[in-house]
Amino acid sequence: MITERLSSRRRRFAIEALEKDREREAMPKKMGVNSKAEAARARKSATESERKDRDAREKEEMYWREAEGAKSRAAKKREEEAEKRAEAATRRVEAHKLVEMEEKEIEKATKKLKNSPMS
């Protein structure tokens, strides 16, 4: 060992130094947590992850907009008008069915009145 070759005074000093080193290794440093720094790191990581999510969403939206292709105002207007016409047609069909049902009910009611003994 190293201490065997040294003088007694130096040996003692070397042994003390080795013991101090061992103590340092054995006892981990226990430091208090800086709560403000922890909070700042958490905020920073949260904003960073939010920014990454937003960038990813924007990238995906841009991809789909480009895939869909640019539509002119006239094309958009035509599509909206076609949707309105389809909705109006369904409303007309429903209204026609309701009118037919009401007419049938009225006919049934008039037949009952004609067949009743009071007339």
Q: Could you tell me which residues come within 8 angstroms of residue 113 by beta carbon, excluding any fewer than 6 positions away?
A: 119
Specify the number of domains making up the chain.
1
Please give the residue range of the domain that contains residue 94.
Answer: 79-114
14 near 3, Cβ under 8 Å? yes
86, part of any domain: yes
| pTM for this predicted structure | 0.36
Question: Could you identify the residue written with the tokens 């700042």?
Answer: 40
Q: Could you tell me which residues come within 8 angstroms of residue 22 by beta carbon, excluding any fewer than 6 positions away?
A: none
93, part of any domain: yes
Q: How far is CA 49 from the centre of its chain?
A: 12
70, part of any domain: no
97, part of any domain: yes
Sequential pLDDT tens for the chain (119 residues): 555 566 777 888 888 888 888 877 766 666 778 889 999 999 999 999 999 999 999 999 999 888 877 777 888 899 999 999 999 999 999 999 999 999 999 999 898 888 877 65
